[in-house]
Chain A
Amino acid sequence: KAGVTQTPRYLIKTRGQQVTLSCSPISGHRSVSWYQQTPGQGLQFLFEYFSETQRNKGNFPGRFSGRQFSNSRSEMNVSTLELGDSALYLCASSPRTSGGRTDTQYFGPGTRLTVL
């Protein structure tokens, strides 16, 4: 099976702009999670989508939002970009069929966002 894909791989934006990142999960996976990775804060959970609904949310401001489509593809949006939003954004998919266990998450290569 093809792995998780993320587009674009690199992005440069300026403060105040907004950005949309895309994630295509592994075929058959129904859950998509997003993480932010920075040198200072490490890997931090943003949110998880399953069946087009946000199921879990991390501790990020409302400028960070996401959605999931019926084919399980997901997008995340960051509005009013700040310098501190510069980071690697990772998407992970999982089947969500483990019936009470946390699934293995399969990560994409990430989108490197630079805010100038």
Chain B
Amino acid sequence: AQRVTQPEKLLSVFKGAPVELKCNYSYSGSPELFWYVQYSRQRLQLLLRHISRESIKGFTADLNKGETSFHLKKPFAQEEDSAMYYCALSATGFQKLVFGTGTRLLVSP
């Protein structure tokens, strides 16, 4: 079975502080991992995916198959990063996404 765990419901940091949103997954096959973000009053949208290995809005995420983790990191949080973040997994090539429960990131000035 595929499962995604995001242990923190809420992460509150000050502007300029480092951020790490945790994501662990369970899947015996070859997974594809994603981070989706939902800003206030906006649609759910892709932030980044592990196969791209790129940095989006200063965020990076590395797939660690040994620890089955895909944590999202940013060295210096900005107020505009405040949003709901969802980690998601799919079996390679399939369009079915399994989502974690989400972490609300609150960045205070």
A-side residues, CB < 8 A to B, are 3-4, 31, 33, 35, 42-45, 48, 50, 55-56, 58, 90, 94, 96, 98, 100-109
Q: Using a CB-CB cutoff of 8 Å, which residues 57-105 of chain B contact chain A?
A: 86, 90-102
The binding surface of chain B is classed by DSSP as: loop
Is B102 in contact with A42, judged by CB distance below 8 angstroms? yes
Looking at chain B, what size class is its interface with the partner chain? 20 to 34
B46 close to chain A: CB less than 8 A: yes
Is B43 in contact with A108, judged by CB distance below 8 angstroms? yes
Residue of A nearest to B52 (CB): A104
B44 close to chain A: CB less than 8 A: yes
Contacts of A96 in B (CB 8 A): 95
A100 to B94, CA, bound (A): 8
5 A-B pairs with the lowest CB-CB distances in the bound complex, closest first: A43-B99, A107-B44, A102-B90, A56-B96, A102-B32
Contacts of A102 in B (CB 8 A): 32, 34, 90-95, 97
CB distance from B35 to the nearest CB of A (A): 12
Contacts of A103 in B (CB 8 A): 95
Is A100 in contact with B92, judged by CB distance below 8 angstroms? yes
Kindly supply a per-residue 1/0 record for chain B positions 34-58, scoring 1 wherever the CB is within 8 Å of any chain A CB and 0 otherwise.
Answer: 1000000001111001010000000
Residue of B nearest to A49 (CB): B95
Contacts of A98 in B (CB 8 A): 93
Contacts of A50 in B (CB 8 A): 95
Contacts of A43 in B (CB 8 A): 86, 97, 99, 102
Residue of A nearest to B42 (CB): A109
